[in-house]
Amino acid sequence: EAQVTQNPRYLITVTGKKLTVTCSQNMNHEYMSWYRQDPGLGLRQIYYSMNVEVTDKGDVPEGYKVSRKEKRNFPLILESPSPNQTSLYFCASRQGYSYNSPLHFGNGTRLTVT
Amino acid sequence: AQSVTQLGSHVSVSEGALVLLRCNYSSSVPPYLFWYVQYPNQGLQLLLKYTTGATLVKGINGFEAEFKKSETSFHLTKPSAHMSDAAEYFCAVSESDSWGKLQFGAGTQVVVTP
């Protein structure tokens, strides 16, 4: 089954403790992206990647890192999480770089930073 | 730069009644427009999209939307609401020269009452 898999689904952590949220897709998609969803703000893009070793900042990249060493994986790293990073996070992927291809989303990771 | 405004963060409709969700956008170049739906505890799924051609587009689950350039709108409708339509709906815009970067609206939560 074609899918985007995020882990974990739920994560509670403390301020400053490094964490990684994994994202993997099995569709051989070039484009991958991370979003955060906050009430009243919709989805905002954190980082995106056009292909292996090609990443770029989205609208809200501060406090996050990403890497794209393999085509299928695109982990999101929070080196020193803070409470304002408490949010619902989504990974998404798409065939090619074009607007014409739909985004495929994972089921989300709900992160709480205390 | 593109932006999206969804009117109404919450909409309540009776089962069998018309569903109308409003979306207005701003874009400096021809836009490409999307509606996504998010069911509880899931990622977003594409409902429909407008890229070029016919301005009335049909999507899954009986939804349709009409692109009106003069009004910069892309409202989503469904003639008869079903209980299963209860979800959050997001309008999104992508500009043709933006490598497919999507800008999402804040979302509209739809509640369907019996």
Tens of pLDDT, residues A9-46: 999 999 999 999 999 999 999 999 999 999 989 999 99
Q: What is the CA radius of gyration of chain A?
A: 13
Q: Which residues of B touch A107 (CB under 8 A)?
A: 41-43
- The tokens of A28 are what? 């051989």
Residue pLDDT, tens place only, A43-64: 999 999 989 999 999 999 999 9
Asked whether residue B100 carries a pLDDT value surpassing 70, the answer given is: no
In chain A, % helix, strand, coil (3-state, to 5) comes to: 5, 50, 45
What residues of B are in contact with residue A48 (Cβ under 8 Å)?
Answer: 101
Write down the pLDDT at residue A97: 67
Enumerate residues 21 to 40 of chain B having a beta carbon within 8 A of any beta carbon in chain A.
Answer: 32, 34, 36
Question: Average pLDDT of chain A?
Answer: 94
Q: Which residues contact B57 (CB under 8 A, 6 or more apart)?
A: B48, B49, B50, B64, B65, B66, B67
Judge whether residue B57 has pLDDT over 70.
Answer: yes
- For residues B112 and B82, the answer to whether their CB atoms sit within 8 Å is yes
Q: For residue B44, what is the nearest residue in chain A, using CA coordinates?
A: A105
Calculate mean pLDDT across residues A63-82. 97
Show residues of chain A in contact with B36, CB under 8 Å: 103
